[in-house]
Amino acid sequence: MRKNRNGFLGAILVVVLALLLTACGSGEETGDNGTETTSGEGVTETTSGTETTAGEEMVDGPTITIGSANFSENALVAEIYAQVLETAGYPVERNLNVGNREIYAAALEDGGLDLVPEYVGSALSYLGGTPTADSAATAQALADAWADAGIAVLDPAPAQDKNGIVVREDTAGELGLTTVSDLAGHNDLIFGGPPECPEREFCMIGLQDVYGLDFAEFKPLDAGGALTVAALEGDEIQVALLFTSDGVIAAKGFVLLEDDQGLQPAENLTPVIRQEIVDAYGDDLVAALNGVSAELTTEELSEMNRRIGIDGEDPEQVAADWIADNL
């Protein structure tokens, strides 16, 4: 009996040792901060709250807190900045959807945020300046206006979110429309937009004074919303005011007419960042953010907005897909 019992205990010890050896050889381990990490090429590791690519060296310096306004497009661009900087090894934290310009601009100036996507014309107006349709000049004016507060304005992207004049694809084809100027002489068209449009210099007043346009009728609807989209799609109106980066333009195949006479002030998306962070990291950080701006177009922004706002896709994945395709 004793011999059989010893043999049974020996078998148990063999099994226990085998299980211990298997656990030691596992690809999963626990990091010093108690966060589970995974070893292996191309797999994400989480350390100290910042995601980096396995094997990548972190850049030494202050954590960059990235914020955004409280709407999906701005948060999307902030997410693109965050992923690009993380991939380059910079320590990043996200604080997205913090609120309107008054809130995030104040946080930027007092150090609560370090980096946000901004719209050059609206930001310049907020600081008391007067934007123009010239993107470079407006961005420079913004940089000058914010310099004393220790805020640096980097390169503006081609992508803009501003008032846009839109028609259906069939209307554009039949009338040969590619620019807002092409609408001149087509006085039988109905124009739809926000109710306040007839009193706004960048809406009906500007279309008449700058472009010399006359419409058969103005139909008050909403500010680039569902009423305007439905009226355009249903041919209740033939010309509409929408926002240039609206995902519905891509979704519906609408044609955004070029603002060839420069009625609308520039609203290029631009990284604005605390000068202290620029000084800490130097040219490589600036180049990484300017690289995003160089590739981001209004059409691509509209398409990403469509994927998020209409198709319901995950913004982090949409950002990652854009980075993979463009950078």
Q: What is the pTM of this model?
A: 0.81
Lowest mean pLDDT among 9-18, 130-139, 216-225, 259-268: 9-18
Q: Are 272 and 125 in contact (CB under 8 A)?
A: no
What is 56-160+266-326's CATH topology?
A: D-Maltodextrin-Binding Protein; domain 2 (3.40.190)
Per CATH, 56-160+266-326 and 163-256 having the same topology is answered yes
Q: Given pLDDT bands bounded at 50, 70 and 90, which one contains residue 57?
A: confident
User: Cα–Cα distance between 180 and 197 in angstroms, integer?
Assistant: 16
Q: Given pLDDT bands bounded at 50, 70 and 90, which one contains residue 277?
A: very high
* Residue 42 φ/ψ region, left for φ over 0, alpha for ψ in the -120 to 50 degree band, beta for the rest: left
In tens, the pLDDT along 156-174 reads 999 999 999 999 999 999 9
CATH superfamily of 163-256: Osmoprotection protein (prox); domain 2 (3.40.190.120)
Sequence spans of domains, the chain: 56-160+266-326, 163-256
In tens, the pLDDT along 221-265 reads 999 999 999 999 999 999 999 999 999 999 999 999 999 999 999
Residue 166, helix vs strand vs coil: strand
Helices and strands in the chain, H and E counts: 13, 14
pLDDT surpassing 70 at residue 196: yes
Q: Give me the chain's average pLDDT, please.
A: 87
User: Cα–Cα distance between 308 and 125 in angstroms, integer?
Assistant: 29
